[in-house]
Structure 1
């Protein structure tokens, strides 16, 4: 089966609304304008790409860094929808993985987080079945 892209997106500007409001309050100092621009560029330079087999997170403005998390390595996931995010139909998805370089992956302020989490969960199970991988929990250790 060929790997297909299921979803692509970025963090919403809602995640940095507090920073933008502070910059607006102090825009007469001029520096906060540059802080707001830098924050917006940095925010939109983080890209998420979910495929049928992995999650790619690309970050960086001038230099890029890509972290790849194989879906079969996802151990647990949780959804958080703070009040402000709910107003804008956004949410945070936290993935707990067995990946050494990315044990916790936070997808912050992503649109339609409920549906995205369902898609993630479905494909995590498909990848686990395909690779014959199961998570074993051991209490007391």
Structure 2
């Protein structure tokens, strides 16, 4: 046995077998919540009632007859329904133990993956009505080139979802021994 063979043997004995494969498990999936549009639905209701009532009290709105008012109301609600449809069916999120996957689009679908280890920060924002309903916006800051800043609007149970994302991020960094100081 020559010196090179001894060296190879010594290196192999100190190396541990690589057991890096860990199956991915889905931790959360979701999208835009209908509860996030409660304020919009209330506003549309107020506009609908105002469209019917105001022509009787305001002279320059007298041109809004009942059929015209009903037509305006239908258009207003159709716009609201389209906005809801685009938000609800146009975005889907999935969090696994290793990746955050977000899909956008209705007719065509764009799928982007962010490695959980690349997520730098997770925060969430809620207004007063959103706090009452438990919805909000999650902001993910990452070192991913395609989406360094990702805003997820209308997320139900926003506090827990943001916590799950942050927990899996921290766990993956610890597992791979990557700490903030190393970045």
Which TM-score bucket, shorter chain as reference?
0.7 to 0.9
Contact 2:36 2:136 in 1 (8 A): no
TM-aligned CA deviation for residue 55 of structure 1: 1.1
> What's the TM-score once normalised by structure 1's chain length?
0.83
Aligned length: 138
1:77 aligns with 2:98: no
Larger radius of gyration: 2
**Unpaired segments of 5 or more residues in structure 2?**
1-21, 49-69
1:2 corresponds to which of 11, 19, 23: 23
Runs of 4+ aligned structure 1 residues displaced above 6 Å come to: none
TM-aligned CA deviation for residue 22 of structure 1: 4.8
Indicate the structure with greater strand content. 1
> What's the TM-score once normalised by structure 2's chain length?
0.66
1:44 aligns with 2:88: yes
Match of 1:114 in 2: 159
Contact 1:23 1:35 in 2 (8 A): no
Indicate the structure with greater helix content. 2
- Partner SS for 2:76: helix
- Partner SS for 1:99: coil
Q: How does 1:32-111 map to 2 (within 5 A)?
A: 32-45=76-89, 46-111=91-156
